Amino acid sequence: MTAEFVVLLVVVVTALAFDFTNGFHDTGNAMATSIATGALKPKTAVTLSATLNLVGAFLSVEVAATVAKGVVDLDTVGGTDLLLIVFAGLVGAILWNISTWLFGLPSSSSHALFGGLVGAALASIGVQGVVWDGVLGKVLLPAVLAPVIAALVSTVGIWSMHRLTRSVATEHRDRGFRLGQIGTASLMSLAHGTNDAQKTMGVIFLALVAHGTITADTEMPFWVKVACAVAIALGTYLGGWRIIRTLGKGLVEIAPPQGLAAESSSAAIILTSSHFGLPLSTTHVATGSILGTGLGTKGAEVRWSVARRMVVAWVITLPCAAVVGAICWALAHLIGGMSGVLVVFAILCALALFMWVRSRRQPIDASNVTADWDDKLASAPGASATVSREGRL
């Protein structure tokens, strides 16, 4: 077994680890509102979401193609250098995902990945190594537009729902909306699989091209599709309860009509983006949709302090992941060869373990994910997970 093959294996394992964190980081995008309104029990929701993420991963490869060929210039770099860039970018993305999960911040896994790749490419070969048209047109522009469009669509949607059902008794109306949420949450999970699982497929494709196993014109190998689908499904099943709590309870107090409007808007936008190969942030879309339902509901409370923290996380995701990706590339490059990759991988494992242990001090799980929200407590680091014996914040 050659050193290059060992490095390839480490990169593939790291990519699947990112896919796993993507799953538990983004479960809330599909299921937070259904859990918050009681349409689905927490464990049932994550099981359903995991299953549909698995199915959705096989429905499209357009987003994977964008990631594989639209971020790093394959004509500028290749071989071991490209493998190292991919590896460092993945480490930056994973560390950002776990950090924001620890604080219950629904930031973008997609932008963490792109940021890590861009930072590693810049550190390795400079500005010419990045496909800037692809980054600007298919990453940054959608990042700005997605939450705005989602908010507008869901605002109109919830306003229309209120108008159409104003003569229906609240009890009957809410029961119908909860049943509808099961369908829309399922569609959202399917949409998530068609978009987010593809990103890891694209990264593994890059690694295989760098190793010389395939060429840039080769079709996506079936084993890559299967591995990525299973990894994101397992991560989704884990739950990511801290972020589910923030989306379901922290931004807006969600009633069944709002949940249905948010999920419908998000699913429609994400499925459209997958069709056109746009690696959209499902987090940005879901958050914008939830915010829109608050804006479109008379008397609804929108917690702008929580929204501001989310926006700050969104803004710094790309540069922070890029810095970490660049540092990881520099460290691996400094040590050199397989040893450098293994040292950085060991550091990744150690930091991930540390953050997981830190999260156990104030656990959030299926038993307390819908406890009442207290913004004063939630604004402190890690405090959003503090639940008293009565089950309230």
What is d(CA 74, CA 257) in angstroms, rounded to the nearest whole number? 47
Q: Tell me: the pLDDT tens digits for 310-336?
A: 888 888 998 999 999 999 999 999 998
Residue 134 forms part of a structural domain:
yes
Helix residue ranges, H only, 132-248: 132-135, 141-164, 170-211, 222-238, 241-245
Domain of 87? 25-366
Number of domains in the chain: 1
Residue 287 forms part of a structural domain:
yes
Q: Tell me: the pLDDT tens digits for 123-137?
A: 988 888 788 887 787
What is d(CA 217, CA 201) in angstroms, rounded to the nearest whole number? 15
| pLDDT over threshold 60, residue 89 | yes
Q: What would the DSSP string read from start to end of 333-349?
A: HHH-HHHHHHHHHHHHH
pLDDT computed for residue 69 by the predictor = 62
Q: Residue 140, Cα to own-chain centre: how many angstroms?
A: 16
Model pTM?
Answer: 0.84
Residue 328's closest CA among 163, 124, 182, 149? 124
Helix residue ranges, H only, 276-336: 282-295, 304-335
Residue 64 forms part of a structural domain:
yes
Q: Tell me: the pLDDT tens digits for 224-238?
A: 989 999 999 999 988
Token pair 């949420």 is found at 181
Across residues 74-102, what is the average pLDDT? 86
Residue 392 forms part of a structural domain:
no
Residue 384 forms part of a structural domain:
no
Across residues 29-52, what is the average pLDDT? 89
pLDDT computed for residue 206 by the predictor = 83
| pLDDT over threshold 90, residue 357 | yes
| pLDDT over threshold 70, residue 375 | no
Residue 168 forms part of a structural domain:
yes
pLDDT computed for residue 391 by the predictor = 34
Across residues 16-43, what is the average pLDDT? 88
Average pLDDT, the chain: 83
Across residues 257-269, what is the average pLDDT? 86
Residue 372 forms part of a structural domain:
no
pLDDT computed for residue 342 by the predictor = 94
What is d(CA 219, CA 74) in angstroms, rounded to the nearest whole number? 16
Residue 380 forms part of a structural domain:
no
Compute how many other C-beta atoms are within 10 angstroms of the C-beta atom of residue 77: 19
